Amino acid sequence: MTARKWRAAGLLTGMVVAAATIAAPQAQAHESHHDRARVVGYFTQWGIYGRNYNVRDLVTSGTAARLTHLNYAFGFLDEQGKCVSADAWADYQKPFAAEQSVDGVADAPGQALAGNLNQLRKLKKKYPDLRVYISLGGWSGSKYFSNAALTPQSRADHVKSCIDQWIKGDVAGPGVAAGIFDGIDLDWEWPGSPANDGNVIRPEDKGNFTELVKEYRKQLDRLPRRQHGDLTAFLPANPNQIDKGFEVSKVFRYLTFGTLQGYDYHGSWESTTNAQSSLRTPKGDPTPAPGFSSETVVDDYLKRGAPRDKLVLGVPFFGRGWTGVTNANHGLFQTATGPAPATYEAGTEDYKVLKSKVGQYKIYRDERAGHAWLFDGSTFWTYDDPTEMRRKARYVNDRDLGGVMIWSLDADTADGELIKALARELSC
């Protein structure tokens, strides 16, 4: 499988001193204590454009009240591996009118901070327990991660630049955006494996990633306000990408938690329809055993030494689709002629749009494997609806996992149908 996202997605083992073993430093528990499992959602920087999805919509939809963590996607890296804004207008320049603002107050001309970051500051004031992270990289922003991680000096310089830009708030001017971000989410796609065209890849990326998270942990723990020291990472579903890029048991010693790719198991880059986010491998799946499923992803990380309570399972608020599909087996595991037409990108559609197609399509469901799809005789969409979201939340509860992660919040309905289904089922 080519596991990918559509968006745009050296540990010390101890030293013996005077015959005593000194353990390597662990990730500090900077997270606020919550009464329920983590609910981590990605807010896309560019959603304010075509989708007209603003930070305020997190409030009006009821989404913000159900989140424990919000990842702001994305910050980029330059060729030297330093952190930079991917879109200054969206991040801190765009003025929002009163009706677009979290608190109903319009941005004033010449104010020091505008854009999404100012709205995030207002959101945190309204929801003080919400932890907000800057997510670095993504599918189209991981080109220079390998450069950043290459040497001790490049790692130190990269981490310092990212902490200065995003945690200390220098991205919009010295200290202007301070106090908005509580941590950093690393979304390097992928160490040691090809992903987006043009990415720099090196065989030593795997060990260098471990050294990079170690450097992050060291510098974050030096911050005066220790609660601003969370560190997370987005991790792939494909076992080949895991083994080429991640020393799992070592990396998790420095992470607050890790989010697992719980989607894009299949998509229109393949010629045969299949489930993009099934909970278990479906019967009859033509993919070589054991196939791809959320259960296999979780088990792969547990086998490699990841702590159960630090595994946060990704769930999609979007679907994958094919057209020209053979009319057999309700469209499942059938050949197709290409990606299904869609609003923004062929083969990919928001849940809120797919929900509106239910009257035109018939919905099918595999209760054992845990996935749903739509089929009209020629076009096939694999997606998660509230029923499947509740099923995945129960799975997270049953396996004592650390929570769920959502890509991405702008694809939900205006009243937050999917996140409500998730939050209702997660353990309290």
Task: Tell me the domains of the chain and their CATH numbers.
Answer: 36-425 (3.20.20.80)
DSSP letter at 341?
P
The pLDDT value recorded for residue 27 is 52
Whether 285 shows a pLDDT value over 50: the answer reads yes
pLDDT tens for each residue of 112-140: 999 999 999 999 999 999 999 999 999 99
Task: Tell me the two tokens of residue 52.
Answer: 């007209």
pLDDT tens for each residue of 286-310: 999 999 999 999 999 999 999 999 9
Average pLDDT score over the chain: 92
| Count of CA atoms in the C-beta half-sphere (13 A) of 327 | 4
DSSP letter at 91?
I
Cα-based distances in Å from 352 to 191, 205, 264, 390, 409? 33, 38, 18, 17, 11
Residues 252 and 258: their CA atoms lie apart, in Å, by 7
Whether 19 shows a pLDDT value over 80: the answer reads no
Q: Which residues pair with residue 229 across a beta bridge?
A: none
| Count of CA atoms in the C-beta half-sphere (13 A) of 368 | 4
Cα-based distances in Å from 29 to 26, 40, 166, 219, 255? 9, 17, 20, 15, 9
Confidence of residue 12 (pLDDT cuts 50, 70, 90): very low
Closest CA to 118 of 151, 98, 136, 96: 96
Q: Do residues 128 and 66 lie in contact, with contact meaning Cβ atoms separated by under 8 Å?
A: no
Q: Do residues 257 and 311 lie in contact, with contact meaning Cβ atoms separated by under 8 Å?
A: yes
pLDDT tens for each residue of 238-269: 999 999 999 999 999 999 999 999 999 999 99
Q: Which residues pair with residue 366 across a beta bridge?
A: 371
Q: Which residues pair with residue 339 across a beta bridge?
A: 322
* Active-site residue set: 189
